A and B are shown apart, each in its own frame.
Chain A
């Protein structure tokens, strides 16, 4: 059992849990994820590690309540426990001194970007961060991102905070202004990551995305998280989750993400038979 030490609602439907998991806190690196299961009948849910504290043996998980399983997770309170937390999974981000690194987080994607941006900053890079959300109330980790970035741009779709528009807008402006960019890392909805990839592609700017396809075990066993990268199949759990954005087949990835949409509807209308009610 993995005890939840603290819960916080970061924005509407987005929660942050600090969870006691000493073995994972000791080993994890920016870019890695865990898989949790709330109870006996629960789904195995992959979540990125948003932060960790090696002294207290805790990790921070940030998630959005989108389906039955995450809503059920969101109902847990401090002092309660998560049945299973396995990890750290996936490869750590390749942190090095590149020069200027642009860190882009969209929606809930800001959570995994945060420890990566911090690590790039600590490695001596100039970190320019761009975070965005549909509106101000959905924006998360602004203060934290500001603290680990040299420059922070904020965008919202409706203009309720920062620049009105998309996270790719400040990136385009930087490129148009002739600013030297050595690396871009983008994490968020697949559409957003594809957008970033298309912006940087013509300029040959190295761009990394972190993928979160549907997976079961997270250790390479099920093959469910396969994604075509440079025309070869990769498993996001063991070969990723970070990949060269210019090599990723985003169209295929988006189709696979929608695989269980019908089932999710079934969950919502199941009338209380499932454990999410």
Chain B
């Protein structure tokens, strides 16, 4: 039993899926889910729980699945996780809960993520009752940013009995779940359903509301009666490389490329109003999840050759194993130990090629990874007509610039402690805006902690008043 293999999840074949935007993985059937749940040892120590940033009681929900109670399984998960259908799909489980599973020591860990997804999808299809909300709100809390951190904090605070309003700059809530992660990895209908669940808890979501522009944080306190504010604005400022040719037509930040396709539905152009340029051959610079998403999106939009250009080796690739595997299967071509030097352009100002240089790995740098060093004279040119820069994002500065008393570090990230307290009273922050670009689940973990801290802060504040 210990050595048994985890159950595979059915998925579209690579040939089929590289032509469509439908979800790649199809999810466990009830039978497979039960068989996989049966692999769980139900060990008392439950090390898997320590690996979960939002502390889902993993053995408990799996026990419900073994006993054919998916409704109770999802209820158990939702005690801790407001967005299980999202997490079941996009969490890097292999580095979290599954890594610590006892079975992982001698074989393959229980497929916790896949089971979470199964339970959550069951929950979505059967429309579980929302949790009870207290009649009289305990206070008014504003959440800035309807991404994973903000939505999680909003859900938890609403459950505790607060009147919660989420302000979102774009026209649709979800943050990176809507504009960044593609449909084939996270269907937008799933995100919308989970957000509808929050609305049922009484959370108000105001879109087209740009903190720092449409209103300031101070105005929320002084003019709109909010008693606490949580900032979860994420990492939304694209990085570029500062190499020649980056302003040529056909060069995108991953943010722009993915937003055009995911949020603005450019793959349906001209039925949708927003176009996107692909061309025949596309280079994606970077090898994180965002880079894999961009490369696989370019393939689906009809590019003939899509290259990942990454300056380190496969061992250092930061993307999830599953995403890397899927990208390879679909035909994404990898130029590893390769760095872009300049982007070449046509007379009319369009991308015509990407000049690269080969790299070798030297001694470890500050990040602990071996430092890439250019190999002199090894330059070569990739024939491409579009380049997507997926080399990371920084913090968007709109809120910080318009909020006196809110301290930021030298990178522009808001300084907040583990619980989410910032330098400004009543203002909390968490997720990528504090830590720099990370994962959905870590942002959710920060949102949960901040919800606890806000609750404590407001209870103390009210106690003093009384």
B50 contacts partner chain A, Cβ-Cβ < 8 Å: no
Q: Are A233 and B246 in contact (CB under 8 A)?
A: yes
A247 to B49, CA, bound (A): 56
B170 interfacial by beta-carbon distance below 8 Å: yes
A146 lies within 8 A of chain B by Cβ: no
Given A23-B209, A44-B264, A233-B246, CB of A222 within 8 Å of CB of B214? no
Report the bound CA distance from A111 to B317 in whole Å.
50
Known: A220-B236, A221-B238, A274-B271. A88 touches B213 (CB 8 A): yes
Residues of chain B lying within 8 A (CB to CB) of residue A68: 270, 273
Interface contact A223-B265, CB-CB below 8 Å: no
A224→B273 contact, CB < 8 A: no
**Cα distance A37–B253 when bound, in Å?**
22
A81 to B170, CA, bound (A): 18
Q: Are B398 and A41 in contact (CB under 8 A)?
A: no
| Residues A220 and B252 in contact, CB atoms below 8 Å apart | no
Query: Which residues of chain B are near A123, meaning CB under 8 Å?
Result: none
Choose among B171, B249, B396 the residue with the greatest number of A CB atoms under 10 Å from its CB: B171
Q: Is B380 an interface residue (CB 8 A)?
A: no
Are B213 and A89 neighbours in the complex by a CB distance under 8 Å?
yes
Per-position binary interface string of chain A over residues 10-35, scored 1 when its CB falls under 8 Å from any chain B CB and 0 otherwise = 00000000000001100100000000
A44 adjacent to B274 (CB under 8 Å): yes
Question: Which of B207, B242, B396 is the one whose CB lies under 8 Å from A221?
Answer: B396
Contact with B along A217-236 (1 / 0, CB 8 A): 10111111011100001000
* B171–A86 touching, CB < 8 Å: yes
B207→A216 contact, CB < 8 A: no
The answer to whether B210 and A256 touch across the interface, beta carbons within 8 angstroms, is: no
Interface-facing stretch out of B17-25, B255-263, B300-308, B458-466:
B255-263
Interface status of A127 (Cβ within 8 A of chain B):
no
Complex CA distance for A219 and B402, rounded to whole angstroms: 14
Closest B residue to A268 by CB, please name it: B270
Segment at the interface with B among A96-104, A178-186, A195-203, A257-265: A257-265
Specify which chain A residues have a CB less than 8 angstroms from the CB of B275 in the assembled complex. 260, 263, 266
Q: Which of A42, A219, A228 has the most CB of B within 10 A?
A: A219
Q: Are A266 and B208 CB-contacts (below 8 A) given A89-B213, A220-B237?
A: no
Residue of A with least CB distance to B180: A221
* A222 in complex: contacting residue of B209, B256, B270, CB < 8 Å: B256
A256 to B209, CA, bound (A): 28
Contacts of B169 in A (CB 8 A): 86, 217, 219
**Residues on A with beta carbons closer than 8 Å to the beta carbon of B397:** 220, 238
CB–CB B264/A23 < 8 A:
no
B210, B253, B265, B348, most chain A CB atoms within 10 A: B210
A266 to B272, CA, bound (A): 12
Known: A84-B171, A89-B213. 8 other contacts (CB 8 A): A23-B214, A41-B272, A219-B169, A221-B255, A224-B253, A255-B248, A255-B249, A256-B247
3 closest A-B pairs by CB: A255-B349, A43-B273, A222-B256
Question: Would you list 10 pairs from A and B whose C-beta atoms are within 8 A, ordered by A residue?
Answer: A41-B265, A41-B271, A69-B273, A84-B207, A86-B208, A219-B236, A220-B396, A221-B238, A223-B256, A274-B273
